[in-house]
Structures are given as structure tokens and as C-alpha cells.
């Protein structure tokens, strides 16, 4: 690892021209995508319509309002609760699946990836139908079965919001923690066991402390995701009167006249909080890397024998899948097949495909589907290509500014989608380029938002590639471009494809930037779902959601099949 990570100094002398031009282009691009909108956001928040010059009036307005402090505490509680729920669920799952001999662990692994591709908007809507106090299926079932008079659950509450968002994020924690557990040298635990430590003690004294940096950084990322999330605050938080930063920014811009001043100064506040989180996260991951001890052999460490605890563990997994995958999907399927929604068993008599016909025949559906597909493909391609070059510069060269490039490409992880959209709106107000309401501005937003994922995939893969592989090509007379094309890209192919699929999926799911940036011609599927839900067309929403989830599963499945056939193995 260490030697592979060392930069190759050949890069500069071997490519006098492209060695300067390409990094310079990449840097300019990055600046345009990140620093420019952020500066415009700050600048915009310092201006008041119809007045000259800069002023702190917006901040004074917003931050003297006691309501803002309720926002702050709501946002904070919501983000912390989400992080705690997602982290404990995801970590417990990862431990059970990765480190114990629970039955069917392989099958489980495949299934947990499904919720990863379900858009947040879809799972939020599903939870409304499952656990709303008035119409929730679960509530009705409990009330009927136990003879209760009041609904036991209420999704329209802070706890309900935490529940919906925490469950939605838990598969991500699962993946991260599985990675951390795999990166851990199994002999660290074995050394504890052969020293006389029993399994629980080993877990407490060795496993958890070693996973601590990964856990802490996972918690921070979940906290940031919670702060930034839009779907749950908008669809559950607003009706429940639990406003948080994102829903408040959204409402400021939906009001008439639009309140750019509040949106801007709230956006800057949110940005500041998540920037602290990101900075802390960066510190923690560096510590995590120091702890990571890579094992020599690729065998899975011996699993913990659960004995009679195997069945409770399996029950936990099954329950999780029921709650996170099966129930949300079934409830949407149910609603999508009803002429109108009443949570009652009698409705099974009246199932109909009418909603699907309506949705598919609506011209907006096709337009949105086309736009979403186009956007996802271009975003994934541009983001992966751009970050491949940037990652190469950061990992391989000794260019003076490369750390800044790294930072810039990572920065958007801390920019909430909604705040980015506000920033882009400010930018387009100042520079009247006619791209507002087009697909172009959406691509810009998406690429900015998802660059960090591409960056992480690409630089991790690049670190694994020994730099001598490229040096050998250069020594054989290949130019930089040829080396990149013939050596770097083929070797990175598996991770490029994996990253591409991921960015594709998250682009289709994207809502929080789109919601402020789309126009009638540039609507996307997630926005259509959101819009239909807000306007109360629940059965059409359900049908469209089911269609979207199914097509995402099919697309991801197919891409993975195809790419595994053409990809280079290993890496």
C-alpha cells in the first residue's frame, strides 16, 4: 500500500504539455463547480432586493427570530436521531452478516443492496402509508388485532421522521461497516482469543475499539446526511409541523414573493454546520486509515459460532428485511392497485391496473423518464471521468496544488442539495447564462453533488494500482494519454463501473436540488413523484414509485451482469 501510494515523479517530465494543461483544466472545472456557487451563495445572502451594496440584514432577520432556534434544535435532534438509528442498525447487521455463522448470510447480503437503490422519496411515501396515524396500514392492523382505540404509531412526528430517515440510511452504514470489518486484520481478534479473552470481551476490548474510527466517521456522515435530507422533512416534517433547515429553505422559496434572503442565510447556516461535520470526518478517516491493518490473505476471517443464538439473529435479519424492504414495497404495490386509498382489507376486492395506465399514458411521465435517464447517464459518465483524472493527479503526481484539488472534489459532500440549488440560482441571477430550467443546470448540480463518490471510488482504486505499472508503460514509450487509456482505465475498470452504477442510481434518486431547479421541460421522475404526492394524487404516486423501483433494480442488475463480463478481474 504505502509504496503504491507514493507518487510517480515521471508524470511531469514525461508530459511537458498535457502535464500542465490537464491538471489546470481539472482545477478550473472544480473551482467552477464548487467555489463559484458557494461564493455566490454567500454573496447572495448578503444582499437585499432593491438595495445597493452588502448588508447583514438577512442574517439579522433570520437569526433574531426565535423560530430559527427551534429549527436548529429540530434539525439537530433529527440528524442525531437518524445517525444513531442508522448506525446501530447498520453496524449490528454488518456484524451479524459478516462475522457470525447466521444462516442464509449470503442471500441476505444481496437483498440488503436493494434498499440502497430505493429513492428516498419512495421510501418516505411508503412510510406515510405504513405508519401515518390516520391512514397507516400498520396502525390499522395493530388497532384491529389488539383492539386499540388510538393508533400506536404516528409517522407525522419527530420520532417518525427519525424512523423513516434512519431506516433509509441504514443500508449505507451496513456497507461501510462491512468494509471496515473486512479491512481489519482478523488475527487481531484471534490474538485476543488465544490470550484467553471470551467472545464478548474480545468484541469489547479489541473489535469495537479498532472499528471505532470507522464508527465515528460513519456517525458523522449519517449526521450530515440527516441534516441535508429533504424528502422526509418536506413530506413528513412540514405536515407534522416539525420544521428543519431544509424544509424551511424550501418553504422560503415556495412562498410568494420568494424570500431569497432567508433562503440564503439559512443555507449558509446549514452549510456551516455540515462543514464542521465534514472537517471532523476528514480528521477521523485519516485516523481510521492509520488503524487499518491490511491482511496478507484474502480469506474471510473465521466466523463467530452463535450456537443457539443463530435463530434469534436470523429473526433479526428477517425482521429488518420485512421492515426495510418488504413492507414498504408491498404497501406501495397495494396502493398502486387501488382506485382510491382506504386502508381496509375490503379493498382487495377492487384491485385495478387503472393507475398504471393513467401514469404511463400521461405525457409528463415519458418526458420525466427520458430526462432522468439522460441526466443519470451523463452525470455518471462526467463525474467518473472527471474524478478519474483528478484522482490520478492527487494520487500519482507531486503537483503543488494537488491537496487542494482533493479537498475541492470532496467538499460537495458537505453541501446540502437544496443549498447547492439555492447557490446555483444566485449564480444564474448574477450571470445571466440562459440555462435556468434546462437539463444543463441539473447536470451541473448533479455532477457537483456526486463528485465526492466518484473521487472516493477512483482514488481508492488508484491507490491499489502500483505506480510501476504506469511507469513501465511510460518506459515502453507510451505517452501520458496512451498510458491513461491503455493502462489506467482498463485496470480501474471494475471500480469505474461500480462507481458509475452508484452515481447513476443516486442521480435518478436526486430530489433536493432538482426540486428547486426543474422547469416544466426539465422535470425528472423523482420530482414528478414529489409533485403528485404534494398535490394528493396518492394512487398515481404509488404506481409511479413501483415502476421506478422496478426499473432501477432491473437496470442495476443488468449493468452489473454486463460489466462483470467485460471488466478486468481483480484490481
Partner 1 sequence: MAMLTVASLRKTYTTDRGGVRAVQGVSFTVEDGRFYTLLGPSGCGKTTTLRCIAGLERPEGGTIQLDDEVLSGDGRFVPPYDRDLGMVFQSYAIWPHMNVFDNVAFPLRVGRARATSAEVRKRVEEALALVGLEGLEDRPAPQLSGGQQQRLALARALVRKPRLLLLDEPLSNLDAKLRERMRIELRELQRRLGITTVYVTHDQGEALFLSHRVAVMHDGGIVQEGTPREIYRDPSTGFAADFVGNATFLAGDVVEDGIAALGGRVRCSMPKDLRPGEKGLLVLRPENVVVRGAPERRPNEFGGKLEIAAFLGDHLDCIVAVGDTLVRARAHPSVQLRRGQDVWVEFPVEHCVAMRDDGWRPRALQRSFGEDEE
| List of residues contacting partner 1 (CB under 8 A) | 185, 187-188, 190-198, 201, 205-206, 209-210, 212, 290-291, 293, 295-296, 302
Q: Which is nearer to partner 1, 146 or 294 (CB)?
A: 294
What is d(CA 449, CA 503) in angstroms, rounded to the nearest whole number? 10
Q: Which is nearer to partner 1, 187 or 285 (CB)?
A: 187
Q: Which is nearer to partner 1, 154 or 185 (CB)?
A: 185
Q: Which is nearer to partner 1, 217 or 246 (CB)?
A: 217
Q: Which is nearer to partner 1, 189 or 231 (CB)?
A: 189
Q: Which is nearer to partner 1, 65 or 468 (CB)?
A: 468
Residue 188: CB minimum distance to partner 1, A: 5
Q: Which is nearer to partner 1, 198 or 286 (CB)?
A: 198
With helix as H, strand as E and coil as C, how does 206-239 read? HHHHHHHHHHHHHHHHHHHHHHHCCHHHHHHHCC
> Which residues, 6 or more positions from 181, have their beta carbon under 8 angstroms from its beta carbon?
94, 95, 98, 99, 211
Residue 568: CB minimum distance to partner 1, A: 20
> Which residues, 6 or more positions from 405, have their beta carbon under 8 angstroms from its beta carbon?
23, 26, 27, 30, 390, 393, 394
Q: In degrees to the nearest 10, what's the CA dihedral of 8, 13, 14, 19?
A: 90
> Which residues, 6 or more positions from 340, have their beta carbon under 8 angstroms from its beta carbon?
539
Q: Are 337 and 359 in contact (CB under 8 A)?
A: no
What is d(CA 538, CA 122) in angstroms, rounded to the nearest whole number? 12
Residue 97: CB minimum distance to partner 1, A: 17
Burial class (CB in 10 A: 0-12, 13-18, 19+), 541: buried
Q: Which is nearer to partner 1, 186 or 567 (CB)?
A: 186
Residue 496: CB minimum distance to partner 1, A: 25
Residue 494: CB minimum distance to partner 1, A: 18
Q: What angle do CA 131, 133, 134 make, to 5 degrees?
A: 115
Residue 493: CB minimum distance to partner 1, A: 22
Beta strands in 102-224, from DSSP E residues, in sequence order: none
Q: How many other CB atoms are there within 10 angstroms of residue 154's CB atom?
A: 16
What is d(CA 552, CA 119) in angstroms, rounded to the nearest whole number? 9
Residue 193: CB minimum distance to partner 1, A: 5
Alpha carbon distances (Å) from 132 to 152, 154, 155, 327: 10, 5, 5, 14
Q: Which is nearer to partner 1, 70 or 105 (CB)?
A: 105
Residue 210: CB minimum distance to partner 1, A: 6
Residue 197: CB minimum distance to partner 1, A: 4
Amino acid at each position: 500500500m504505502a509504496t503504491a501510494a507514493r507518487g510517480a515523479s515521471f508524470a511531469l517530465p514525461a508530459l511537458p504539455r498535457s502535464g500542465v494543461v490537464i491538471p489546470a483544466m481539472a482545477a478550473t472545472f472544480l473551482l467552477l463547480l464548487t467555489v463559484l456557487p458557494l461564493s455566490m451563495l454567500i454573496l447572495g445572502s448578503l444582499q437585499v432586493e432593491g438595495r445597493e451594496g452588502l448588508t447583514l440584514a438577512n442574517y439579522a432577520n433570520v437569526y433574531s427570530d426565535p423560530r430559527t432556534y427551534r429549527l436548529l434544535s429540530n434539525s439537530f435532534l433529527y440528524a442525531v436521531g437518524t445517525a444513531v438509528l442508522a448506525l446501530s442498525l447498520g453496524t449490528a447487521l454488518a456484524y451479524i452478516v459478516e462475522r457470525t455463522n447466521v444462516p442464509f448470510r449470503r442471500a441476505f447480503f444481496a437483498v440488503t443492496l436493494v434498499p440502497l437503490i430505493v429513492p428516498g422519496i419512495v421510501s418516505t411515501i411508503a412510510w406515510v402509508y405504513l405508519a401515518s396515524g390516520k391512514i397507516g396500514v400498520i396502525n390499522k392492523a395493530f388497532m384491529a388485532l389488539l383492539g386499540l382505540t388510538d393508533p400506536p404509531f404516528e409517522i407525522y412526528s419527530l420520532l417518525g421522521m427519525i424512523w423513516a430517515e434512519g431506516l433509509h440510511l441504514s443500508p449505507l452504514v451496513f456497507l461501510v461497516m462491512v468494509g471496515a470489518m473486512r479491512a481489519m486484520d482478523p488475527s487481531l481478534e484471534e490474538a485476543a482469543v488465544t490470550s484467553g479473552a471470551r467472545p464478548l470481551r474480545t468484541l469489547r476490548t479489541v473489535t469495537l475499539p479498532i472499528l471505532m474510527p470507522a464508527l465515528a466517521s460513519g456517525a458523522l456522515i449519517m449526521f450530515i446526511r440527516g441534516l441535508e435530507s429533504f424528502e422526509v422533512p418536506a413530506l413528513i416534517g412540514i405536515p407534522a409541523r416539525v420544521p428543519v433547515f431544509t424544509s424551511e429553505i424550501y418553504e422560503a422559496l415556495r412562498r410568494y414573493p420568494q424570500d431569497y434572503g432567508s433562503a440564503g442565510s439559512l443555507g449558509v447556516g446549514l452549510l456551516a454546520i455540515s462543514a464542521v461535520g465534514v472537517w471532523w470526518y476528514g480528521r477521523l478517516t485519516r485516523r481510521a486509515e492509520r488503524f487499518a491493518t491490511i491482511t496478507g490473505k484474502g480469506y474471510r476471517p473465521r466466523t463467530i459460532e452463535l450456537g443457539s443464538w443463530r435463530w434469534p439473529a436470523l429473526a433479526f435479519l428477517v425482521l429488518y428485511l420485512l421492515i426495510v424492504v418488504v413492507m414498504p414495497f408491498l404497501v406501495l404495490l397495494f396502493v398502486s392497485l387501488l382506485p382510491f386509498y382506504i386502508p381496509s382489507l375490503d379493498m382487495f376486492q377492487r384491485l385495478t391496473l387503472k393507475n398504471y395506465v393513467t401514469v404511463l399514458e400521461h405525457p409528463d411521465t415519458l418526458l420525466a423518464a427520458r430526462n432522468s435517464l439522460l441526466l443519470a447517464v451523463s452525470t455518471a459518465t462526467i463525474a467518473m471521468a472527471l474524478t478519474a483524472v483528478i484522482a490520478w493527479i492527487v494520487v500519482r503526481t507531486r503537483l503543488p496544488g494537488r491537496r487542494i484539488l482533493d479537498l475541492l472534489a470532496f467538499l460537495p459532500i458537505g453541501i446540502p442539495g437544496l443549498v447547492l440549488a439555492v447557490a446555483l440560482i444566485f449564480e444564474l441571477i448574477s450571470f445571466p447564462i440562459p440555462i435556468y430550467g434546462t437539463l444543463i443546470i441539473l447536470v451541473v448540480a448533479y455532477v457537483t453533488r456526486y463528485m465526492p463518490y466518484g473521487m472516493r471510488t477512483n482514488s481508492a482504486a488508484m491507490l491499489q494500482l502500483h505506480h510501476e505499472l504506469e511507469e513501465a508503460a511510460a518506459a515502453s514509450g507510451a505517452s501520458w494519454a496512451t498510458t491513461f487509456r491503455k493502462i489506467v482505465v482498463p485496470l480501474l475498470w471494475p471500480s469505474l463501473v461500480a462507481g458509475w452504477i452508484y452515481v447513476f442510481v443516486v442521480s435518478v434518486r436526486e430530489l433536493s436540488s432538482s426540486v428547486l431547479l426543474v422547469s416544466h421541460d426539465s422535470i425528472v421522475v423523482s420530482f414528478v413523484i414529489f409533485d403528485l404526492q404534494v398535490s394528493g394524487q396518492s394512487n398515481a404516486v404509488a404506481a409511479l414509485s413501483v415502476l421506478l423501483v422496478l426499473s432501477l433494480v432491473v437496470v442495476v442488475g443488468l449493468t452489473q451482469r454486463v460489466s462483470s463480463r467485460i471488466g478486468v478481474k481483480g484490481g
